[in-house]
Amino acid sequence: MPATSHSSSAKPPAAERILVLTGGSSGIGAELVSALSAEWRITSLDLTPPAHPQPGVAYANGDITTNSAVESLHEVLEYGSDTKIDAVVHCAGIGKFGPFLQMSRADWERLLTVNLHGTLNFVQGIADQVADGGRIVLFSSGTVFKAPAGAAAYAASKAGIIGFARSLAAELGARDITVNVIAPGLVVTPLSESIAAGEDANISTRAIKRAATTADFVEPVRFFLSPGASFVSGQTLVVDGGSIRR
């Protein structure tokens, strides 16, 4: 299906720093769009538009596993394909959980296609537009380190993002572009609804014994985007209330 695009009717925010964010229609991505829209000129890319668009944010629809994703962005970006982007935050992804030995090949291939190959495809398609001194923030998962049963394929898809980010940081460092990763613990969003029943057990393993919220990821992302993080690159920050301590 060809990509479509639209933007909210409100005027864009005064901020001129340009941020492209994927997965902004729900979950952590939607929270970031809401929190950062006053500071950044945001274009959000997702497979479907949000139910409640954030005023001042432009929305593009596209599949990150195809070239149509970047093409859809260019249709929405008022400043065109030649204008440099100051930051990219890539949240888009899917989840699928269950015993690996019973998981169909189609299911684990879909996880790898969207979570890992989609990340490679999207970042490769937009990296040339990132300004020197820019920021790239990718999302992995705490399951990479915690390695719970029933998450083998998902953890594999998210582990690849960490390896990719470390290598990409070395490639883009000459342009002073930082590449870092946020690895969330379990936070109940549409992506994780199928494993939400394990929330109480997950909380019991945390140093901070409460449920995670999407708001918990705003300040970690804001740090990676900030001038203060200009000398931090190739790093993975686990945000899970201290369930994983390393």
CB atoms within 10 A of CB 98: 17
Per the annotation, the verdict on 154 as an active-site residue is yes
The 3-state DSSP composition of the chain as helix, strand, coil percent (nearest 5) reads 45, 20, 40
Q: How many residues does the chain have?
A: 246
Backbone angles phi, psi at 27, to 5 degrees: 60, -140
Compute the CA torsion angle 195, 199, 205, 209 (nearest 10 deg). Answer: 150
Q: Which of 40, 97, 154, 164 is catalytic?
A: 154
Q: In what order do the strands lie in the sheet with 236-239?
A: 5-7, 58-61, 41-46, 18-22, 85-90, 130-139, 178-184, 236-239
**Residues annotated as part of the active site:** 154
